[in-house]
Amino acid sequence: MRNLLTYAQSLVYTLVSLMPSRYQQNSLQTLLELFLQATGRLPEAQLA
């Protein structure tokens, strides 16, 4: 399970880094956080 979490975090960080502007990075991060909060699975270490 830990390996899957590491892979998922890496994928999210890669997606955020591919956004061309800081505004788009923040928007994607916010959408992901809202989704995780709605599903009740927000990790303690939130996206950086």
Whether 32 has a pLDDT exceeding 90, the answer reads no
Return the structure tokens found at 2.
């830990």
Alpha helix positions (H), the chain: 2-18, 22-39
Would the pTM count as exceeding 0.85? Answer: no
Exposure class string for 20-45: b at 16+ Cβ within 10 A, else e: eeeeebeebbeebeeeeeeeeeeeee
* Integer Cα distance of 33 and 16 in angstroms: 12
Whether 23 has a pLDDT exceeding 70, the answer reads yes
Computed over every residue of the chain, the mean pLDDT equals 81
Q: What is the mean pLDDT of residues 10-35?
A: 90
The residue ranking higher by pLDDT, 32 or 45, is 32
Whether 42 has a pLDDT exceeding 70, the answer reads no
